Structure 1
Amino acid sequence: MNSKDKIGKYIKLEISGKKMISGLLVDIGSDLWVVFNGNDYLYIPIIHIQNWQFLKHDEIAEISFNDEPTPIYNHNEEISLRKTLTAAKGIFTEIYVTSKQALHGYIISIMNNYFVFYSPIYKTMFISLHHLKWLIPYTSNQRPYGLSNSSLPVNPSGHTFARSFEVQIEKCVGDLIVFNIGENENVIGKVQGIKNNFVELISAKEDPVFVNMQHIKTVHMT
């Protein structure tokens, strides 16, 4: 079975972080799979698919299928992660990066190895492309947290962004930041500097903490 032969099959995937997704495989791209779970299209980078298997008949029967939303990409073109992110730009979207919670908002800019995301909760965020597990575009009548469009600025930052994630973090030297949505106290502090692929943070008690750049998934200012 080649990769395209799986399209139209019901599958179950394990995603990095021990997350399980079940649904209909509707498309496969160079670095991305698209699964319809009965309510939404999930755009899943292949790098985070740990394993997958076909669903059994009784498992398929457990999925409740509603009306399919309109996909955000052109079915006549081969999809990719970057094309999908570009198509999702400005659309209210759910993204999943850490093992704890999803983020809701919209994509502002797409850079070389990260993208800029606006969250009504965390405001402007920098998201590593390497750590993006999946994204789910909202349907047209949905708004995050029930907010009106007027509460969600089109270009909230007004800043220019570095081309790479590493350089963007370097621009944060001297700022109070939160990495990885504050999953523990060791990823919150003032950026003191970057050396040998480690970011030095100064904690609330003024202790230095060194965070491996490769494990930084999200960045936002306090």
Structure 2
Amino acid sequence: MNDPLLPFLGRPVEVEVTGPFFIAGLMVDLGPDVTVVYTGEQFFYIPLLHIHAVQPYKPRDDSAMDGGPELPHENVADPISFRKMLMHAKGQFIEMNVTGRDSIHGCVTAIMNDYVEFYSPVFGTIYVLIEHIKFIVPHTGPTAPYGLKTVSYPVHPARLDLSRTFRQQLQKSVGRMVVMDLGHNPDKIGMLETADDHWAELVRSDGSRIKLNLRHVKSFARPPGPQEQ
């Protein structure tokens, strides 16, 4: 594999990721569009699309970078890819960072052409554009996120048929309340009035309308209506 990052494979590195985040650890695997960094505690699967810089890293404790547990994707055929990693993670507890700010915890429940359906015990079902996922981290602890027991944390995907693309999926929610990008920006919460391939119009809480460029929308969730409670 002729890859400019190949010299870093098997070595301690510091990776700057969109956010910005700085992830330091051992680069344990590398594919055409993803790398895997082991921090001594967690495996970070980072799409190359969101890597801004990579540099050698000198850990304070060299033993923290030695070996580590078996790779979570050990049985995935080479070469690895980010889509393969998402498919491998389907139904498993993971941490996913989308906004560059906060991570969400839960399970990938479906993988479509350009987005995933993700179930979070906090936000419910979220539709996430794959190109905006900054990293995923498999959950390796003995319990589910938030200390929930697996039996009390069943996966409940939304009762909404899945379209092939993210924008088609969004269009199915016209006339419904939506929360985009986890609701960090109040301008991205409201009733979806219209949506096409490029723009969406929301009606905000005060009744005013706003047009949003869908190139800058990373995810959306649809709060359940009365019939879905």
Contact 1:69–1:139 (8 Å) recurs in 2:
no
Mean Cα deviation higher: 88-97 or 155-164: 155-164
Query: Is 1:219 aligned to residue 220 of structure 2?
Result: yes
Matched position secondary structure for 1:157: coil
Q: Which residue of 2 is the match for residue 161 of structure 1?
A: 162
Cα distance in 2, alignment partners of residues 103 and 52 from structure 1: 25
Q: Which residue identity is paired with 2:138?
A: P
Query: Residue 54 of structure 2: which of 46, 52, 55 is its match?
Result: 52
Mean Cα deviation higher: 163-172 or 146-155: 146-155
Cα displacement (A) at 1:77: 1.4
Q: Which residue of 2 is the match for residue 61 of structure 1?
A: 61
Residues 125-181 of structure 1 deviation map (CA, whole Å, 9 limit, x = unaligned): 001111100000111623111112222223433432011001001011011011011
Q: Which residue of 1 is the match for residue 12 of structure 2?
A: 10
Distance 1:165 1:103, change over 3 A: same
Cα displacement (A) at 1:205: 0.7
Contact 2:116–2:128 (8 Å) recurs in 1:
yes
Q: Which residue of 2 is the match for residue 183 of structure 1?
A: 184
Mean Cα deviation higher: 187-196 or 37-46: 187-196
Matched position secondary structure for 1:141: coil
Aligned residues: 220
Mean Cα deviation higher: 60-69 or 89-98: 60-69
Q: Which residue of 2 is the match for residue 141 of structure 1?
A: 142
Distance 1:111 1:196, change over 3 A: closer
Query: Is 1:30 aligned to residue 70 of structure 2?
Result: no
Q: Which residue identity is paired with 1:61?
A: D
Mean Cα deviation higher: 75-84 or 22-31: 75-84
Cα displacement (A) at 1:30: 1.0
Unmatched 5+ residue regions in structure 1?
A: none
Unmatched 5+ residue regions in structure 2?
A: 224-229
Q: Which residue of 2 is the match for residue 128 of structure 1?
A: 129
Contact 1:37–1:63 (8 Å) recurs in 2:
no
Cα distance in 2, alignment partners of residues 31 and 103 from structure 1: 22
- Aligned-pair RMSD on alpha carbons? 2.0
Contact 1:38–1:65 (8 Å) recurs in 2:
yes
Distance 1:126 1:76, change over 3 A: closer
Q: Which residue of 1 is the match for residue 226 of structure 2?
A: none
Percent identity, please.
33
Cα distance in 2, alignment partners of residues 195 and 106 from structure 1: 28
Matched position secondary structure for 1:17: coil
Cα displacement (A) at 1:34: 0.4
Mean Cα deviation higher: 72-81 or 184-193: 72-81
Contact 2:90–2:108 (8 Å) recurs in 1:
yes
Matched position secondary structure for 1:20: strand
Cα displacement (A) at 1:54: 0.6
Residues 74-128 of structure 1 deviation map (CA, whole Å, 9 limit, x = unaligned): 3651100110000000000000111321100000000011000000000010011
Mean Cα deviation higher: 149-158 or 13-22: 149-158
Q: Which residue identity is paired with 1:19?
A: F
**TM-score (norm. length: structure 2):** 0.89
Matched position secondary structure for 2:200: strand
